[in-house]
Amino acid sequence: MRGRDHVAALNPASRFKALALTAALCMGASVCITACGAHRTADALGLPLSKPVSRQAIEDRPESSLLYPGSRLMTKVGADEQAQPGGEKEPDPGFAGEVAAAAVDPTALLDWYSAQMAERGYQSATYYPLSTQSEGRAWTIPHTKDQIQVAVYRAGEGPVRQLPAGSIEYEEILVDYRVTGPPPNAK
């Protein structure tokens, strides 16, 4: 027997099971294709996958302005995503954030951010401080190219020259880029 004749030869209960199994497999394949992002145009956070990310799009996200309690905003920072000169594959990412001052120990500041990021489902990532920064940490949003970075500047080496007495200067930014295609692990 071939094709439909084989199913027709089954008793009614077996025929129902065969049809139910076929329907379940089709629905499972459809869900997998949708969930795996076969035709996705935006990441899980709504940012486009195939065009550069703008500073404004990043600034619209609350993670770009999450400040330690009692901090004083000193300046906003950011830039649009841009291709690197010389044909480099990875672009210079778009980013947005804030430079702030707070009367807090740097470790307490970074521990507070670690707790905030963990509550939001972010995972620790490698962070490489700039030469003007004494320490910092980073967190990534799973399955995206997004990263939150928090860094403490060395005394007198940050972008702000006059800080409130007893304060440290730190930067909290959200970094993102899209030009090179879908985020890692989006399969």
pLDDT tens digits, 71-107: 999 999 999 988 777 877 777 888 999 999 999 999 9
pLDDT band at 38 (very low <50, low <70, confident <90, very high): low
Average pLDDT over every residue of 102-122: 96
Say if residue 7's pLDDT is above 60.
no
What residues does each domain of the chain span?
A: 3-35, 55-176
Q: What does the mean pLDDT of the chain come to?
A: 78
pTM recorded for the entire structure = 0.69
Looking at residue 109, what is its pLDDT? 98
Q: Are residues 80 and 53 in contact, defined by beta-carbon separation less than 8 angstroms?
A: yes
Q: Specify the higher pLDDT residue, 161 or 174.
A: 174
Cβ neighbours around 159 below 10 Å, total: 12
Average pLDDT over every residue of 150-170: 93
Looking at residue 29, what is its pLDDT? 43
Question: What is the b/e burial string over 123-145, where b = at least 16 CB atoms within 10 angstroms of the residue's CB?
Answer: eeeebebeeebebbbbbbbebbb
pLDDT band at 12 (very low <50, low <70, confident <90, very high): low
pLDDT band at 51 (very low <50, low <70, confident <90, very high): confident
